[in-house]
Amino acid sequence: MSQDEPDRRGAGRIYPEPPAPKAEAELSPDVWGYRDSGFEITAAGDVTFRGDRYPISGTILPDLLPWAGEVLGSEIAPDDIHTSGYPPMIPAPRSNPGFLAAIRGALNADQIVDDGPIRLRHGHGHTQQEMWDIKYASLARVPDLVVYPRTDEQIQAIVHAASEHDVCLVPYGGGTNFTDALRCPADEKRSIVSIDMGRMNRVLWIDPENCLACIEAGATGIEISEQLARHGFTMGHEPDSYELSTLGGWVATHASGMKKNRYGNIEDLLLGVRVVTASGVLDRESVAPRESIGGDPARWLLGSEGRLGIISRCVVKLFPLPAVQHHGSVIFKSFDAGFEFMRAVHRSGQIPASIRLMDNLQFQFGQALKPKKEGLAALISRVEKLYVLGMKGFEADKMVACTLLFEGSAEQVAAEERTVYALAARHAGMKAGSENGERGYQLTFSIAYIRDFMMDHHILAESFETAVPWSQALALCENVKQRVWQEHTKRGLPGIPFITCRVTQLYDTGVCIYFYFAFLSKGVDNASQVYSEIEHIAREEILASGGSLSHHHGVGKLRQDFLGEILSQTALDWRRRLEESVDPKNIFGCGN
């Protein structure tokens, strides 16, 4: 384009107002989510959920601890607490005066922080081991400094200074990862600086005619949703960590969302990216619907996990806000029947935005999270239970549930509902209502808090996921469960292992399966290490059963040992050479 030629790319663009300033103090420093939210014990010994952010907030959950004690094989006493020692000892910072002097010329004083608790929070994600370490042990290394850029130019100044003064940089989004990606290498001798992208959280522009948007990488899912919704659009990407995780994090971890069936995964939504590397800026804001060019930098960044540079902004696809949103649910007499229903739905082509199948144990878990009912509501609940278990022949220890979310035009949603519920009937499924479907979907966001609550009560728990072909999915679920039971028994661990799964995303060739694993840790020597060992063995079983190393959590440091099993030596060499060519000084030395 010549200098005198007008730039028509910006014609008709909308430039949204920025989001409200982030209330960083609202976020919990040591456990998942917000300070004002989470599970806790009432004076009467029941469980409740404090705060008012979620539908479950303020409800009394009298069945949760008794049920958990039953399935884990040991009573859980409300007052038997594994008291947290947070915060642990925080390593003293390793200062680099030259770097500090250089960035002070580009950043304001409030953008450069060396406060101990803030450094600690930027040195971990949310694996079980990291949560254990900050409560009951310590982290060997944390960032020595945290910086908060507001512009691309400031990021470039930070990276340039790091290159000049031999500093290690670690990008930080929402801090929600489950792969040890934020854990600082213990043997890193250089000063480590965390680049917190949270103040770069704007939707820079919306192109309504072409359904595009340019969004800064530090924007969380909820910030993106609110800014786009004001102008009638959605990105449609809604992972479980949607409130806290960021666009840059989604790209860096190759993420997936609960509405993937309608809107696609992050690779389907990402069209252009700007990333600041140690070798310069990779920039691709001008995008076409599709190009055959090869070596597209946007593709390199997917799953890069902070190794190649700092993602500063992305161009993504948008969709009009759906005219209709309906929740639904179906129960089946067995997991196999529900799974065959899922396969039939996918083959029909009438696939809801979200369709998730829970096994029996996870279905029971959902029932244990229901609030206490009294009076007429309690009577109705008993009648419904009698109808399902008595007249319809469902068995409480075998039945499963499938939650549904339909989004789109009225005509599209109606067509999907007709097809899905007809297929459910063919597989002996029974409609269980929109209320249960909506409750199951919304529980996804509040249930994330339960791992930290259970750790307080001597229960270690975590999730892990995989993708697997349709033909191997049922066997994989059974194999992993059996292997966990065997390892639990072999070690003589107390109680009964909790291992459950759900099918969460559908593909032409297979499905994503999401596991939860927990065990009683009281009296177990090196309990957190034992947990990690069993989880590692479960991953071995997943690979042996035809599953992937990860579906959407990524690799980080947690699963690096498996890379040689899934990639050839040549592939591993290519990855290493790409990193060395872009970052010859290993400035982005996070070790992922």
pLDDT tens for the chain, 592 residues long, are 334 444 456 679 999 999 888 777 799 999 999 999 999 999 999 999 999 999 999 999 999 999 999 999 999 999 999 999 999 999 999 999 999 999 999 999 999 999 999 999 999 999 999 999 999 999 999 999 999 999 999 999 999 999 999 999 999 999 999 999 999 999 999 999 999 999 999 999 999 999 999 999 999 999 999 999 999 999 999 999 999 999 999 999 999 999 999 999 999 999 999 999 999 999 866 788 888 877 777 788 999 999 999 999 999 999 999 999 999 999 999 999 999 999 999 999 999 999 999 999 999 999 999 887 666 555 456 656 766 777 778 888 999 999 999 999 999 999 999 999 999 999 999 999 999 999 999 999 999 999 999 999 999 999 999 999 999 999 999 999 999 999 999 999 999 999 999 999 999 999 999 999 999 999 999 999 999 999 999 999 999 999 999 999 999 999 999 999 999 999 999 999 999 999 999 999 999 9
402 found inside a domain: yes
Same-domain pairing of 270 and 376: no
SS3 537: helix
Domain containing 359 equals 324-447
| CATH code for position 248 | 3.30.465.10
**316 and 330: one domain?**
no
Start-to-end CA distance of the chain, whole Å, equals 40
Mark whether 343 and 439 lie in a shared domain: yes
Residues 216 and 242 in one domain: yes
Distance CA 396, CA 378 (A): 18
User: What is the domain count for the chain?
Assistant: 3
Question: Quick one: 316 and 328 in the same domain?
Answer: no
Instruction: Identify whether the C-beta of residue 247 lies closer than 8 Å to the C-beta of residue 236.
Output: no
Contact 165/99 with Cβ under 8 angstroms?
yes
Residue where the block lists tokens 């005198």 = 4
Rg of the chain on CA atoms, in Å: 24
- 329 and 314 in one domain? no
Residue 358, phi then psi, degrees to nearest 5:
-100, 140
pTM here is 0.95
Give yes or no: residues 375 and 334 share one domain. Answer: yes
365 domain-assigned: yes
The verdict on 291 and 213 lying in the same domain is: yes
Q: Residue 77: inside a domain, yes or no?
A: no
Q: Any idea which residues carry the catalytic annotation?
A: 514
> Which tokens sit at 396?
């409480």
Q: How many CB atoms lie within 10 A of CB 38?
A: 21
Q: Two tokens at 36?
A: 């004002």
